[in-house]
Amino acid sequence: MKSGSDLLRIENLGISFSMLGGRLHVVKGANLRVLPGKVTALVGESGSGKSVISQSVMGILPNTAKATGKILFTDPLDGRTTDILQLPTDGEQIRALRGSRMAKIFQEPMTSLSPLHTVGNQISEVLAIHTESSKEERRARTEEMLDNVGFSNPSRTYDMYPFELSGGMRQRAMIAMALICRPALLIADEPTTALDVTIQAQILELLRELQHKLNMAMLLITHDLGVVANMADEVVVIYHGEIMEAGPVEAIFRNPQHAYLKGLMAAVPHFDMKPGERLKALREVPVKTDTLWAKKKEVANAPEILLSVRDLTKSYKTRKSGLFGRKHTTEVRAVDGVSFDIRRGECLGLVGESGSGKTTVSKILMRAVTPDSGSVTFDDGSGKINVLTAQGDDLMDLRTHIQMVFQDPVSSLSPRMTVQNILSEPLEIHGRGDRAYRLEKVRGLMQAIGLDQRFLNRYPHSFSGGQRQRIGIARALALGPQLLICDEPVSALDVSVQAQILNLLKDLQKQLGLTYLFISHNLAVVDYMADRIAVMWGGRIVELAPREVILRNPVHPYTRGLLAAVPFPDLDRPLDFTTLQASGASEQGEWAPQFRPDEAGDPLIPADLGDGHFVLARKNVDVRELRPW
Amino acid sequence: MTAQLPSPGAPLQHYVSTAPFDPMSIEVMTEEQAKLHLASQRKLMWWKFKRHRLALASGIFLLLLYGMIVIAEFLAPYNLHTRNVDFIYSPPQRVRLFHDGNFVGPFVYGRQMSLDMDTLKRTYSDNRNDVQPIRFFCRGDSYKFWGAIESNIHLVCPAVGGQMFLLGTDRLGRDVLSRIIYGARISLTIGLIGITISFVLGIVIGGLAGYHGGVFDLLVQRVIEVLQSLPSLPLWMALAAIMPVSWSPILIYFGITLILGMLDWTGLARSVRSKLLSLREEDYVLAAQLMGASSARIIGRHLVPGFMSHLIATATISIPGMILGETALSFLGLGLRPPITSWGVLLTEARSVNVIAFYPWLLFPMIPVILVILAFNFLGDGLRDAADPYR
């Protein structure tokens, strides 16, 4: 290996796509490099062209794309430099590089493994393509790699199918597949975006560890500056296909210069925010609700508690029928004895990783899922409504009080309807007013979410993710609800857009006097929004407390794990992988004994720590014992 | 100015772009994008469809054909049943422009028939002195336009007292070209009527199965499997045999379309069902449910528009099957019978090897069948590509 050479050197790269209307230039004159054994992070919002750059490095650009410039890859093994753009797309040379000398891991672990082959089969296939080795050798090397990426029983994992693994485990398998040939360059395209924070921390730690161990270079593509601060040596910030700022990680984080980078940094919610401190969104949305009818309602004698949930339980039965009709029924408790109250005008945050049952809770509240037992009562001062049994007119009435904002801005808007139709549909269903009245309301809604009136006749496909999410919020507001259930409303969005949506939701809450149930897997986001926070794990609420209490004084090991797992865009506060490991985050077996069910099978009950702070623990445990230190 | 890379291996300088920066620029669209984004679904589909040249050409071709069947009487030089007893099994005549080196416009030579006394075969020869110029917008056989308006104006007709059989004649001396033009009426419409029936059946049955699932779905799936496993030819024969011989030809025609339609819905029902199943899971359907929308509204406003374009594409591709089905049935003598004329009926004339060997022009009706089926396939292909404009 020549000393002092770049492993990957991208010079003046331009990429354009042919579209229906003409050519679209998505990358303009980009320069960047990756040093051997170092990590270069490419940071930008969606649509900035960062993924396209990674595709061009691997030579897997779509056919409609045209690339100009140079992508020089210098293999440290033999010191030869190749210009990837000059190689034929599926020629022998590029195929010899792909998978062997450079490898890629993708964002979506659920779809990037073939469901028809075992994990080991897919990983050892890479070896079969690039090396000459016997079957036994391949199996041995694959198992060694699986062991490296943290599978406790590699030989068993080898014969497992992807569907048997969780998202985080699949991402580990993907990493094993990418690294099996010891590539000189790993391209990680948003490797942790689809994962929960706790899993994200684990994967980041794994990537960093392996990168050091194998002395491998990495091109890390992400929109999350927190991830960058924890991983990168050099940082390149890209916006709209052009590089805005580049430099060593120290310079970037200690001395950010460009308005865009500063904007991105200001948009990340963090735990040090003072109460009432506002995130600075890159693109702030003005909220004007004066034309909206749903003025802040002052009900003098309204009860304090708007929604009361008691002992909700929902279990799913999975049936495995054997070949000869024998049936094994396994019961999974998605929601297990969940109780909480939502007070009028507050925002209750519900945090937990995927599979913790938080979405099921929200769907039960919306009557999209029927629970096995439990009760939900809604009371806005005009009489109690039993949410779970309401029928006919009562149910229709209830629909106007509780509405929902969805996670996925793409699938939550009907693609064949214009914005106007989408927004006026709830009014039509409930027979509110005539055409003119509805149009006026729709205009008011558009103003409330800061979208231009001219967009009324456009279709959802012409909006960005953030704009679509705003339309989703407007639709939820159309009937003038009092309670808004936001199910991961920002987890599909970039950090910069996330701040915009969060601020919008906050402003709307203040001006319209709304009550929120805010669901997210990211504790930092929930912390920004919520007054009280409930932490869910395994279908149960393990800790519930006012926001400051949970941050200052988390008791449950899972909550502590969540707090430690959020990456900050701050070099002085790196992720503490050792505490993460020690707290055992999502492994119930590693929690302190007082938080685990005992051998006798006595159920866990919420222990009251005062100040509205509850934590799920053993029945006979002393409150002082629960305090960590 | 863009960032300059340091020489290989050298430390990276802190680079800050000095280009003007506008945080909104990513949301501002170029003119082309704006055009694309402001377009409705239908417009996007049209743009995408237009790029499929073959499909566009096929679409125009089919439009012309359907336009043609409206004015078949006017276009055909002869009537459907006009017999020319002197010109039985006359081979196609060539249209010429020059006679003896002089330009005289389109004309045909007159024909002389002689009977080969050994084989008893009629042989025709051109009489090189008998120039019969073709007339345009002329008076010829009189007809009733759509059975109502009496007229005798044709686009082209033979010279007065002459003949013009561009595609030859059949065993009764009827002009094959005219019969093909008339036959298009039945052959092209039977596909449409049949597809309408199967469309309705497919959407209703498939829609119910997809939306409600459960026992009904199970039942429908099994019925579809049984229907699809039946060999189609014997089934057609059986169903055609049920139809009473005493029925009028026009009733039989409807009977046949009904049979074709009732056997063809299975594929469509399946695709409707699977599409519904996948669309039902979309968040916007849940959103509509949470607003309190009724099932009918959800199916009508949210689900059906979502896959209508796919259905139209599927239907277009299955029209050729209908046309072929009619042709096959009629060819076997089970479908339409004279005096109703379709392309299949015309082909029954060419059923024996002898006839094909001696009078190959009786196979000419195959050409429009092939062209129409290809055109429908290309059109359907283009529609299917256009149906999902976002991909």
The predicted pLDDT at position A1 comes to 39
| Beta pairing, strands B121-133 & B102-116 | antiparallel
The whole-angstrom separation of Cα A473 and Cα A486 is 9
With respect to residue A209, please indicate whether it lies within any of the assigned structural domains. Answer: yes
Average pLDDT, chain A: 84
pLDDT at position B255, please? 79
Which segments of A214-298 does DSSP mark as H helices, in order? 225-231, 249-254, 259-266
A414/B36 Cβ within 8 A: no
- Look at residue A318 in the predicted model and tell me its pLDDT: 67
CB atoms within 10 A of CB B204: 13
Closest CA to A228 of A184, A264, A279, A174: A264
The residue of chain A with its CA nearest to that of B305 is A416
Does the beta-carbon distance from A414 to B24 stay under 8 Å?
Answer: no
Please state, in angstroms and rounded to a whole number, the distance separating the CA atoms of residues A29 and A23: 16
Which of A20, A399, A454 best tests the B interface by mutation, with the highest count of B CBs <10 A?
A20
CB < 8 Å to A45, chain B: 26
Q: Do B8 and A5 touch (CB under 8 A)?
A: yes
Distance CA A98, CA A521 (A): 35
Q: Residue A399: is its pLDDT beyond 60?
A: yes
State how far the Cα of A129 lies from the Cα of A113, in Å rounded to an integer.
17
Interface test with A, best of B24, B41, B284, B295 (most A CBs within 10 A): B284
Does residue A324 fall inside a structural domain? Answer: no
Apex CA A223: angle with CA A554 and CA A530, to 5°?
35
Q: Which range marks the domain in which residue A35 is found? A: 8-266
| Angle (CA) A100 A101 A103, round 5° | 75
Strands A402-405 and A483-487: parallel
Q: pLDDT exceeding 70 applies to what percent of chain B?
A: 93
pLDDT tens-digit readout, A432-491: 888 888 888 898 888 888 888 878 888 887 788 888 999 999 999 888 888 999 988 888
Phi/psi for B3 (5° steps) reads -65, 130
More confident residue, B19 or B73: B73
Chain centroid to CA A579: 22
B12, B30, B286 member nearest A368 (Cβ): B286
How far apart are the C-alpha atoms of A32 and A246, rounded to whole Å? 8
Contacts of A406 in chain B (CB under 8 A): 283, 286-287
- CA A471, A51, A12, A259 dihedral sign is positive
Of A367-371, A482-486, B291-295, highest mean pLDDT: A482-486
Q: Which residue has the tokens 């430690």?
A: A564
Residue A532 has a pLDDT of 93
- C-beta atoms of A425 and B23 within 8 A: no
Please name the residues between 333 and 372 in chain A that touch chain B, using a CB distance below 8 Å: 366-368
How far, in Å, CA of A477 to CA of A402, rounded?
Answer: 10
Of B19, B51, B284, which is closest to A414 when you measure between CB atoms? Answer: B284
A68 belongs to a structural domain: yes
Interface check for A240 against chain B (CB to CB < 8 A): the answer is yes
Q: Does A243 touch chain B (CB under 8 A)?
A: yes
- Above 50 in pLDDT, residue B1? no
Q: Is A174 helix (H, G, I), strand (E, B) or coil?
A: helix
Q: Which of A63, A416, A451, A457 best tests the B interface by mutation, with the highest count of B CBs <10 A? A: A416
Cα gap A353→A192, rounded to integer Å: 14
CA distance linking residue A109 with residue A463, whole number of Å: 27
Question: By three-state DSSP, how is residue A615 classified?
Answer: strand
pLDDT at A601: 66
- Phi, then psi, of A236 in degrees rounded to 5: -125, 125
Tokens of A584: 């055992």
pLDDT, position B35: 66
What local confidence, expressed as pLDDT, does residue B344 receive? 82
**Strand A347-351 relative to strand A532-537, pairing:** parallel
Q: For chain B, say whether A111 makes contact (Cβ under 8 Å).
A: no
Give me the residues of A, 383-422, that contact B with CB < 8 A.
395-396, 399, 403-404, 406-408, 411-418
Q: Give per-residue pLDDT as tens, A26-77.
A: 888 888 888 888 999 999 887 788 888 888 888 888 888 888 888 888 888 8
State residue A486's pLDDT score: 92
Mean pLDDT, chain B, integer: 81
Contact B289 A368 (CB under 8 A): yes
Q: Is the pLDDT of residue A321 over 70?
A: no
CA dihedral over B257, B263, B266, B269, signed as positive or negative: positive
Composition of chain B by helix, strand, coil, percent to 5: 55, 15, 30
- pLDDT, tens digit (0-9, with 9 covering 90-100), for B132-158: 888 888 888 888 887 778 888 888 888
Q: Which residue of B has its CA nearest to A480?
A: B291
Q: Give the count of domains, chain A.
A: 1
pLDDT at A462: 77
Indicate which of B7, B26, B281, B312 best probes the interface with A, i.e. most A CBs within 10 Å of its own CB: B26
Domain assignment present for residue A388? The answer is no
Residue B131: is its pLDDT beyond 70?
Answer: yes
Given an 8 Å threshold on Cβ–Cβ distance, is B5 in contact with A9? yes
The structure tokens listed for A138 are: 């391949």
Q: Is the pLDDT of residue A547 over 80?
A: yes
List CB contacts (< 8 A) between B2 and chain A: 12, 28-31, 242-243
- Rounded to a whole number of angstroms, the distance from the CA of A553 to the nearest CA of chain B is 37
Residue A110 lies in a domain: yes
pLDDT band at A3 (very low <50, low <70, confident <90, very high): very low
* Token pair for B13: 């300088």
Q: Does A283 touch chain B (CB under 8 A)?
A: yes
Q: Is A104 on the interface with B (CB under 8 A)?
A: no
Structure confidence by residue, pLDDT tens digits, B332-384: 777 777 777 888 888 888 778 888 888 888 888 888 889 998 998 898 888 87
List CB contacts (< 8 A) between A30 and chain B: 2
What is the C-alpha separation between A261 and A245, in angstroms, rounded? 7
Which amino acid, one-letter code, is at B175?
D
Side chain identity at B265, as an amino acid letter? Answer: W
| pTM summary value | 0.78
SS3 A404: strand
Residue type, B233: L
Residue that is written with structure tokens 């354009």 in the block: A16
DSSP B189-205: HHHHHHHHHHHHHHHHH
CATH number at residue A183: 3.40.50.300
Inter-chain CB proximity B38 and A32 less than 8 Å: no
Cross-chain Cβ contact A247/B21 below 8 Å: no
What lies within 8 Å, CB to CB, of B260 at 6+ separation is B190, B194, B197, B198, B322, B325, B326
Predicted confidence (pLDDT) at residue A291 exceeds the cutoff of 90: no
Residue A262 lies inside a defined structural domain of this protein: yes
Question: Helix, strand or coil for residue B367?
Answer: helix
Homologous superfamily of B178-387 in CATH? MetI-like (1.10.3720.10)
Residues with Cβ within 8 Å of residue A387, at least 6 apart in sequence: A307, A365, A367, A376, A377, A378, A398, A402
B19 CB neighbours in chain A (<8 A) are 242
Whether A173 maps to a domain, the answer reads yes
Q: Where are the domains of chain B?
A: 93-164, 178-387
Residues on chain B touching A234 (C-beta within 8 angstroms): 12
Number of Cβ atoms within 10 Å of the Cβ of A500: 25
Of A152-161, A288-297, B224-233, B277-286, give the lowest mean pLDDT range. Answer: A288-297
> Residue A450: its pLDDT value, please?
84
Using the predicted structure, report yes or no on whether residue A287 has a pLDDT greater than 80. no
Label residue A581 by pLDDT band (50, 70, 90): low
Nearest to A569 by CA among A197, A226, A192: A226
Reported as a pLDDT band with limits 50, 70 and 90, residue A239 is confident
Interface test with A, best of B46, B282, B290 (most A CBs within 10 A): B290
Residue A95 lies in a domain: yes
Any idea which of A131-145, A340-354, B219-233 has the lowest mean pLDDT?
Answer: B219-233
